[in-house]
Amino acid sequence: MTEEHTRLDQLDLWLLRALTEHPRAGHLELSRLTGTSRMTVQARLERLERAGVIRGYGPEVDLPAAGFPVLAFVTVQIAQGALEEVAEGLRAIPAVLEAHATTGGDDLHLRIAAASHADLQRALLEVNRVPSVVRSTSVIALTEVVPARTLPLLESVERPAPSRVPGFRVTPPR
């Protein structure tokens, strides 16, 4: 994680919301949705991509619908100084969707998906076979209460109006 960040203004947020609500929209449609020119939309999106704010445009996959209805969160303790070695081992396990190094009593938090409980058990055994993994603890998710999201957080901060955008309205278009 880096400490650098891009300053987002209201138009950036409008574009991010429009992309979230209409992920297949092109520049022309996004310009209509945000009330700005196509060239402004294109330039803003390119800037957000270069800055790493927008990381991709892939489809959002519903894992249960795709045959992986079991979701588990796993905490892992590792041997001191073995983060890179363990990360490499975890990347080789397809069931590991995410892995985050953390502070506190555990070193890593993982998100793992599986087709069944037996499949989850196999994935957990694979995790425990990774060299330098000392211990793991898992919990199975029952239901998704709040889906993954970023817009409420981004919109919770007051943002300046964009500079040099002719005809920019203070209220977001709908």
Mean pLDDT value across the chain: 92
Question: In this predicted model, what pLDDT tens digit does every residue of 14-46 receive, in sequence order?
Answer: 999 999 999 999 999 999 999 999 999 999 999
For the 70-140 domain, the top CATH level (class) is: alpha beta
Q: Where are the beta strands (DSSP E) in the chain?
A: 70-78, 96-101, 108-114, 133-140
Report the sign of the C-alpha dihedral through residues 64, 66, 19, 10, in that order: positive
**Tokens describing residue 7:** 């300053």
- Residue span(s) of the chain under CATH 1.10.10.10 come to 10-59
Strand duo 108-114 + 70-78: pairing: antiparallel
pTM comes to 0.83
Question: In this predicted model, what pLDDT tens digit does every residue of 96-128 receive, in sequence order?
Answer: 999 999 999 999 999 999 999 999 999 999 999
The per-residue pLDDT for 172 is 60
The answer as to CATH 1.20.950.20 being correct for domain 10-59 is no
